[in-house]
């Protein structure tokens, strides 16, 4: 399609929207609203609160100092829509001050900026905080590469857990991204989550002596290779391996480490390549990833380990994951994805506050998700499209379940919460410090009326042990 403005006559220039920013009308809008409603209702049932973020943010929030040199794949500073906002004081006739800003290209940075503002207003802010957002995003994609799934304006649904350490918080994020698809009717055996870890990648960069610039190039190539292995445009795999080889040659990487990178890029089982290195840091992370996969399998989520899944978000610090939908005739690769970012919030934290606030989350682009659901027949007109309603009470959930901070503890509370959530009851699973003082503080801050500690063995009586939270009858 020719998106050139010069190809449009005057009439078409007046009536045609900018390339990559199409109009939507009628059933197309209703489908989008339905998908938003289903995802939002699910998040509410798990105890997440919605946040609305501005469409315009200060440009400094997306500076290299904050998001790094590669905040998402194929990053280029010119890929953002920058604006100069005139700040008039008390008259439009005076010369205004100006603020450099941009249209938001994604939601996570805005969420972390918001959290920084909360820490300034309330130094005793209670963690963790669970939230989600639905927001338009804007990226100045190359017009010759635009498609139905790749636009310059798109809608992002994101979910974040802020202030919770790795482990059960990562389990919940991945559990919820899979549960989101199941909520629409996608079969459990059609859902695959591919998980890697940026820590492993960074360790290999350190050991092989790659520069920051070289690491970004290799990371983006590995990201592409991960997609090839998953079933997306597999013919480009050899070219991506060659791209890595050229970077290693330019960097004069020692031959043994160049061989490791080549084997990693070419291998079907990348985790086995890393395991053979017998490096204590990488081995420890692989062990933790396998434990993560085991816990998620118990929750009915298929996880494939692939250390090539590094997602080119430089602010990621731990796990990175992408979710696919596999059907009989094709594989929909990277329907959504996410990861852990433990240092991003610190850029917005007030002086004197803790600067490492562990966080994790995921996002869907609705323009990418909706065609997948349509291909599965899950948005057909004869299907019931009536998601459960959202409560308007002030509490973030009706019940708070507290388990031990280990995989067995999470599985126990997830199992206990499932029947109530299936009935539309909003049940939060606590992911913070499990001391009674902390979870009671959390319940009080979120307005959750009932708490249920599940920290010990099963109650032989089988009785429900719901206790009122402080300040509630």
Say which DSSP state 356 is in. -
Do residues 366 and 157 make contact, with C-beta atoms less than 8 angstroms apart?
yes
Handedness of CA 357, 304, 264, 266 (dihedral sign): negative
Residue 370: other Cβ atoms inside 10 A: 21
Q: Is 316 annotated as a binding residue?
A: yes
Are residues 356 and 25 in contact, defined by beta-carbon separation less than 8 angstroms? no
- Residue 108 in contact with residue 167, Cβ under 8 Å? no
Residue 462 marked in a binding site: no
Q: Please indicate if the annotation marks 145 as binding a ligand.
A: no
Alpha carbon distance, N-terminus to C-terminus of the chain? 63
Give me the sheet containing 82-87, strands edge to edge: 56-58, 97-103, 82-87
Dihedral angle over CA of 289, 170, 408, 296, nearest 10: -70
Annotated ligand binding at 451? The verdict is no
Gap between the Cα atoms of 243 and 216, Å rounded:
12
Kindly state the helix (H) or strand (E) to which residue 11 belongs, with its residue range.
helix 10-15
The alpha carbon of residue 394 and the mean position of all alpha carbons in its chain are separated, in whole angstroms, by: 26
Q: Please state, in angstroms and rounded to a whole number, the distance separating the CA atoms of residues 364 and 39.
A: 10
Determine whether the annotation assigns residue 311 to a binding site.
yes
**CA-CA distance, 87 to 100, in Å (whole number)?**
11
CA distances to 204, 310, 322 from 198, rounded to whole Å, are: 10, 6, 13
Position of tokens 């501005």? 54
Instruction: Please give the Cα distance from 148 to 153 (Å, whole number).
Output: 11
Q: Are residues 337 and 363 in contact, defined by beta-carbon separation less than 8 angstroms?
A: yes
Secondary structure of residue 390 in the 3-state scheme: coil
CB neighbour class for 464 (10 Å; exposed up to 12, middle 13-18, buried from 19): exposed
Query: What are the φ/ψ torsions at residue 259 (nearest 5 degrees)?
Result: -65, -40
Binding residues for L-histidine: 106-108, 139, 156, 160, 311, 315-316
């Amino acid at each position: 399609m020719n998106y050139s403005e010069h190809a449009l006559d005057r009439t078409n220039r007046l009536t045609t929207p900018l390339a990559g920013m199409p109009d939507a009308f009628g059933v197309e809008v209703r489908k989008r609203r339905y998908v938003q409603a289903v995802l939002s209702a699910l998040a509410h049932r798990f105890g997440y609160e919605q946040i609305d973020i501005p469409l315009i943010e200060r440009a400094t929030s997306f500076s290299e100092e904050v998001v790094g040199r590669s905040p998402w794949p194929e990053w280029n500073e010119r890929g953002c829509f920058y604006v100069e906002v005139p700040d008039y004081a008390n008259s439009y006739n005076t010369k205004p001050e100006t603020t450099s800003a941009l249209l938001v290209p994604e939601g996570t940075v805005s969420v972390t900026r918001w959290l920084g503002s909360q820490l300034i207003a309330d130094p005793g802010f209670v963690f963790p905080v669970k939230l989600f957002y639905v927001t338009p995003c804007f990226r100045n994609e190359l017009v010759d590469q635009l498609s139905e799934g790749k636009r310059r304006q798109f809608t992002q649904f994101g979910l974040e857990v802020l202030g919770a350490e790795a482990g059960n918080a990562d389990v919940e994020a991945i559990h919820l991204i899979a549960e989101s698809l199941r909520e629409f009717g996608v079969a459990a055996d059609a859902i695959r989550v591919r998980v890697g870890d940026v820590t492993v990648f960074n360790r290999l960069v350190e050991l092989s002596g790659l520069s920051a610039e070289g690491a970004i190039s290799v990371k983006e190539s590995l990201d592409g290779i991960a997609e090839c292995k998953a079933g997306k445009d597999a013919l480009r795999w050899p070219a991506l391996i060659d791209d890595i080889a050229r970077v290693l040659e330019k960097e004069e990487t020692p031959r043994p480490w160049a061989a490791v990178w080549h084997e990693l890029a070419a291998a079907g089982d990348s985790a086995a390549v890393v395991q053979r290195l017998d490096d204590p840091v990488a081995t420890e992370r692989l062990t933790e990833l396998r434990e993560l996969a085991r816990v998620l399998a118990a929750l009915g989520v298929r996880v494939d380990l692939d250390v090539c899944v590094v997602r080119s978000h430089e602010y990621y610090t731990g796990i990175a994951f992408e979710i696919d939908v596999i059907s009989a005739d094709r594989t929909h690769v990277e329907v959504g994805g996410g990861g852990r970012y433990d240092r991003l919030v610190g850029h917005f934290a007030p002086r004197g506050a803790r600067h490492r606030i562990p966080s994790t989350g995921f996002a869907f682009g609705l323009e990418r998700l909706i065609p997948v659901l349509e291909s599965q027949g899950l948005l057909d007109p004869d299907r019931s499209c009536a998601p459960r309603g959202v409560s308007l009470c002030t509490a973030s959930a009706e019940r708070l379940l507290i388990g031990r901070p280990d995989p067995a503890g999470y599985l126990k509370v997830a199992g206990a919460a499932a029947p109530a959530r299936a009935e539309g009851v909003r049940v939060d699973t606590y992911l913070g410090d499990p001391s009674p003082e902390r979870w009671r503080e959390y319940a009080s801050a979120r307005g959750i009326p009932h708490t249920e500690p599940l920290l010990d063995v099963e109650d032989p009586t089988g009785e429900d042990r719901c206790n009122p939270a402080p300040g509630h009858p």
